């Protein structure tokens, strides 16, 4: 998947699928009608677009994800660090921690992760 960015409305739509999958396309239409106030055609248009981007699949009227929400979030994070900090996680953490002081718990959690990855 080349571009992992979703707009605000696409994110709400994706969250509905992740929260209820697998679900029929008819169920998805009803959910989108209730939650997003969308017409059937809008639901199918956005679903088709996100299927083409490799996020979801509509197989015989059953909608399911090709990536979990966690996998998708990890891809978004990787893309952000790559584009913004030339792929450098240390540069990202340095920039992040200049504006927000890390708590002792956060530092311990990061250290435990580093130790685990060694």
The domain containing residue 48 runs over which residues? Answer: 8-69
Domain annotation covers residue 61: yes
Is residue 94 domain-shared with residue 48, that is, in the same domain?
no
Is residue 23 domain-shared with residue 61, that is, in the same domain?
yes
Angle in degrees, 0-180, between the axes of helices 8-20 and 40-52, rounded to the nearest 10 = 90
pTM, full prediction:
0.79
What does each of the 118 residues of the chain score in pLDDT, given as a tens digit? 456 789 999 999 999 999 999 999 999 999 999 999 999 999 999 999 999 999 999 999 999 999 999 999 999 999 999 999 999 988 998 898 888 888 999 999 999 999 998 9
Domain annotation covers residue 33: yes
CATH of the domain at 63: 1.10.10.10
Is residue 56 domain-shared with residue 107, that is, in the same domain?
no
List % helix, strand, coil for the chain (3-state, nearest 5): 70, 10, 25
Is residue 13 domain-shared with residue 51, that is, in the same domain?
yes
Is residue 97 domain-shared with residue 62, that is, in the same domain?
no
Is residue 101 domain-shared with residue 53, that is, in the same domain?
no
């Amino acid at each position: 998947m080349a571009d992992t960015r979703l707009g605000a409305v696409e994110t709400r739509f994706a969250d509905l699928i992740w929260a209820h999958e697998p679900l029929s396309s008819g169920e998805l239409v009803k959910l989108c009608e209730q939650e997003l106030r969308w017409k059937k055609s809008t639901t199918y248009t956005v679903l088709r677009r996100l299927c083409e981007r490799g996020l979801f699949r509509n197989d015989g009227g059953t909608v399911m994800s090709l990536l979990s929400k966690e996998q998708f979030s990890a891809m978004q994070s990787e893309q952000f660090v790559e584009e913004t900090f030339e792929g450098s996680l240390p540069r990202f953490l340095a920039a992040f921690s200049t504006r927000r002081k890390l708590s002792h718990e956060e530092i311990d959690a990061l250290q435990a992760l580093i130790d685990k990855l060694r």
